[in-house]
Amino acid sequence: MVTSKTDNKKTGNLGEDIAAQFLEDKGFRIIQRNFRYSTFGEIDIIARQNEYLVFIEVKTYKTEEFGEPLLLVNKKKQEKIRKLAQIFMLQKKIADTDCRFDVIGIKIGKGGSGNLINHIDNAF
């Protein structure tokens, strides 16, 4: 199956919408979505949960042909997210705040129903 960049972007946006709603339902307060620093990269969702500032990577797929979404957040991607988190905190002048990095894997169900959501707190 061949997918276009546009299809992948639509799937990613849908997954981020699902993840944001899921987080809000769990009591998270969304601070920002799609924080981008130049061409270096992007953090999908930044939220507050109690005393934590949480940086969240969302991986979304319609099929399992690429494997488990959470496995795609490799060491290189983790390091990039950590650096982006530091940049975000510097830009917003946030200090002395407990932070953590979560990963949410979403498998989109057929017809938009039956989505599977796997949320890993403190994933790395």
| Rama region for 67: left / alpha / beta (φ>0; ψ in -120 to 50; rest) | left
Pairing of strands 98-107, 52-61: parallel
| pLDDT reported for residue 114 | 78
Q: What totals of helices (H) and strands (E) does the chain contain, helices first?
A: 2, 5
Cα 49 from Cα 29, distance rounded (Å): 7
Average pLDDT, the chain: 90
**CA contacts within 13 A on the Cβ side of 5:** 0
Among 5-14, 34-43, 99-108, 113-122, which stretch is predicted with the lowest mean pLDDT? 5-14
Average pLDDT in the 39-55 region? 97
Residue 69 vs residue 75, higher pLDDT? 75
What are the structural domains, with CATH classification, of the chain? Answer: 17-50+61-113 (3.40.1350.10)
Residues 81-118: tens digit of each pLDDT: 999 999 999 999 999 999 999 999 998 877 656 788 99
Instruction: Please give the structure tokens belonging to residue 56.
Output: 């969240």
